[in-house]
């Protein structure tokens, strides 16, 4: 069975500081992808970053980077230089891919990030 | 930039009524999904759709739910007889490669 665990219900960070949001996953499949989404209070789901299980380099997208540690089954999101607009719920998700079938996303429970001035 | 659109943004209905939630996925995407999020809870998978048929569905997606792609652009989720516990935000998503894009969601309120 596939499972995503986010152990931090809430995190606080001061503006301009970096913050790490934790995510661990469990799967017996070898081919999978890890995603992070941002959900502001308005409710939409905004795609941030993707890491494939076979990617050797950690993914980066602007101020977002994914610290992928395959042996530990962790995929932490690092946000550098936090901004007030980063305050939102953050979800880690996993997709298992089998052959040519692209599977559904399994979501964690989310971490509410608050950035204070 | 192309985006997934959903209508309506908010739907209020009486228990037992049928609702149809509409989505227009990104045009060259091949996989489509419905997810829901009950207020304050995590996002739950409902169903995936590929090549004009359901490819996977969750235990939530029972006989009260159905999906259609009636005209090659719209992707609809129908709930035949809504229950109070169907109140949630419903997200449509479409996929190409490694990016699964979500629509803005439809907030369904069942009274």
Residue from B3, B54, B98 to probe the interface with A (highest A Cβ count within 10 Å): B98
Q: How confident is the model at residue A78 (pLDDT cuts 50, 70, 90)?
A: very high
CB contact under 8 A, B101 and A47: yes
Whether residue A101 has pLDDT greater than 80: no
CA distance B40 to chain A (A): 9
Dist. CA A95–CA B10, nearest whole Å: 29
pLDDT of B77: 97
**What is the 3-state secondary structure of chain A?**
CCEEECCCCEEEEECCCCEEECCEEECCCCCEEEEEEEECCCCCCEEEEEEECCCCCCCEECCEEEEEECCCCEEEEEECCCCHHHCEEEEEEEEEEECCEEEEEEECCCEEEEEEC
pLDDT of A12: 97
pLDDT of B81: 94
Chain B contacts of A43, Cβ < 8 Å? 89, 104-105, 107
Mean pLDDT (chain A) is: 93
Dist. CA A109–CA A58, nearest whole Å: 23
Q: How confident is the model at residue A99 (pLDDT cuts 50, 70, 90)?
A: low
pLDDT of A102: 66
pLDDT of A4: 96
Dist. CA A77–CA A54, nearest whole Å: 18
Dist. CA B16–CA B111, nearest whole Å: 9
Residue with the bigger pLDDT between B30 and B67: it is B67
CA distance B15 to chain A (A): 24
Query: Which of A44, A91, A95 has the CB atom closest to B43's CB atom?
Result: A91
CB contact under 8 A, A44 and B99: no
pLDDT (average), residues A72-98: 95
CB contact under 8 A, B42 and A108: yes
pLDDT of A86: 98
pLDDT of B73: 83
pLDDT in tens, A16-44: 999 999 999 999 988 899 999 999 999 89
**What is the 3-state secondary structure of chain B?**
CCCCEEECCEEEECCCCCEEEEEECCCCCCEEEEEEECCCCCEEEEEEEECCEEEEECCCCCCCEEEECCCCCCEEEEECCCCHHHCEEEEEEEEECCEEEECCCEEEEEC
pLDDT in tens, B39-77: 888 899 999 998 888 988 999 999 999 999 888 789 999
**Which token pair is A96?**
């298992």
């Amino acid at each position: 069975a596939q499972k995503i665990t986010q152990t931090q219900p809430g995190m606080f960070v001061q503006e301009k500081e970096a913050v790490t949001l934790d995510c661990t996953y469990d799967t017996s499949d070898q081919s999978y992808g890890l995603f992070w989404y941002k959900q502001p209070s308005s409710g939409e789901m905004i795609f941030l970053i993707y890491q494939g299980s076979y990617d050797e380099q950690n993914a980066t997208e602007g101020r977002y980077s994914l610290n992928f540690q395959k042996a530990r089954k962790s995929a932490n999101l690092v946000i550098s230089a936090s901004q007030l607009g980063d305050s939102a719920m953050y979800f880690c998700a996993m997709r298992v891919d089998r052959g040519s079938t692209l599977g559904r996303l399994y979501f964690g429970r989310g971490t509410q990030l608050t950035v204070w001035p | 930039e192309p985006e997934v659109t959903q209508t309506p943004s908010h739907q209020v209905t009486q228990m037992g009524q049928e609702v149809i939630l509409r989505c227009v996925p990104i045009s060259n995407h091949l996989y489509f999904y419905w997810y829901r999020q009950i207020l304050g809870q995590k996002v739950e998978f409902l169903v995936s759709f590929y090549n004009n048929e359901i490819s996977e569905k969750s235990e939530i997606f029972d006989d009260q739910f159905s999906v259609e792609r009636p005209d090659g652009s719209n992707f609809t989720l129908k709930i035949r007889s809504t229950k109070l516990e169907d109140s949630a935000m419903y997200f449509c998503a479409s996929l190409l490669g490694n990016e699964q894009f979500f629509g803005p969601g439809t907030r369904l309120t069942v009274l």
